[in-house]
Structure 1
Amino acid sequence: MKKITTFLALLSSLTTVNIHAEEVDCVTTSWKLIGSNHKVCVQAYDDPKVKGVSCYMSQAKKGGLKGTFGLAEDPAQFSLDCRQIGEIIIDSKLPEQEVAFSEDTSLFFKETRVMRVFDKKRNTLIYLAISRKLIDGAPANSISTVPIMPWSK
């Protein structure tokens, strides 16, 4: 079992981009008598390949004893908003579609992944957050767009 877990962890690290998110704040949504409270947390991500773009994601986090010890499976409930925060500088080798960042939302087999899609025709970056675990046959998702505009100081 340990070998399988190690293999899956290695495979996951090769296929996803785990970028350190900056936790902005959390809001309690339900008080728990034992363990941490249920909450919604807001995290900020700076796009590692596109300078001048930051994304904010709010995501539900389970509390209780399992949540306190990191064993709870967080629900696939999130929202994404990305904005231009400065001059946009794009790596010349930016693919049309790739994982911009991801975050594990359970101990095993569930993550929230943010894909970056470049719409050349409209000169717009599209960020699509999806849950990597199917919920009722379709993944939970959220979208945000950033038109590439000149930035004046």
Structure 2
Amino acid sequence: MRGFLYRALAVLLAILVLIGLFFWLVMPHGGARHQIGAVSTNFRWFGPNDKVVVERFDDPKIPNISCYAASAQTGGIAGGVGLASDPSEFSLNCIAHGPVNLPADLPRQEQIGAISASLIFKHFILTRILDDKKDAVIYVLTSTKVLKGSPANAVSAVAVQAQPGA
């Protein structure tokens, strides 16, 4: 009986690892992502504290645009080993820190980054959308976990100089 339990646990662990690997492979890892800092929001006796983490995403196809996302991370023992599901609470601000030139072959809409908010089921996805009529680049951060019929989201826009001859 003991051997059966060990085999069952090994199979379950292998399945979880394969599912995690699958989601890691299909999630967009586009733009450069850098953790800028974190602010502790709740003390935990065991494991790391809850915190708000600030990360920078550099747009991989549009030089001089960076987006800053702040998201809540659950601490404690489960959070310390990566098993906690983080709340869908986040904000987004994008800036141009130099001249912005749009590549000619830039897709109208594209996922450019992601933040893992749980081991498998929840991620925050950063998507770029072009607004040609108003010469702007829009960035939307959404949660893949739907809450009450609608995903949590944040939006930011960056103005683009009109291209000559456009």
Shared fold per TM-score greater than 0.5: yes
Deviation at 1:21, TM superposition (A): 1.8
Q: Contact 2:32–2:58 (CA<8 Å) still a contact in 1?
A: no
Higher deviation after alignment, 41-50 or 89-98: 89-98
Q: 1:103 — aligned with what? A: 115
TM-score by length of 2: 0.82
Higher deviation after alignment, 78-87 or 19-28: 19-28
Within the candidate set 7, 18, 26, 2:38 is matched to 26
Q: 1:35 — aligned with what? A: 47
Deviation at 1:9, TM superposition (A): 3.2
Spell out, residue by residue over 1:75-105, the C-alpha distance to the aligned partner (whole angstroms, 9 max, x if none): 1100000000112132221111110211211
Q: 2:22 — aligned with what? A: 10
1:1-153 alignment runs, 5 A limit:
2=14, 6=18, 9-10=21-22, 13-14=25-26, 16-149=28-161
**Whole-Å Cα distance in 1 between the matches of residues 131 and 68 of structure 2?**
21
Secondary structure (helix, strand or coil) at the match of 1:21 reads strand
Count of aligned pairs between the two proteins: 150
TM-score by length of 1: 0.89
* Higher-helix-fraction structure: 2
Structure 1 residues 7 and 33, CA, compared in 2 at 3 Å: closer, same or farther? closer
Q: Contact 2:32–2:60 (CA<8 Å) still a contact in 1?
A: no
**Whole-Å Cα distance in 1 between the matches of residues 50 and 16 of structure 2?**
31
Deviation at 1:149, TM superposition (A): 3.1
Q: Which runs of 5+ in 2 are unaligned?
A: 1-11
**Whole-Å Cα distance in 2 between the matches of residues 79 and 19 of structure 1?**
18
Q: Which structure would you say has the larger Rg?
A: 2
Secondary structure (helix, strand or coil) at the match of 2:151 reads coil
Secondary structure (helix, strand or coil) at the match of 2:148 reads coil
Secondary structure (helix, strand or coil) at the match of 1:66 reads helix
One-letter code aligned to 1:31: F
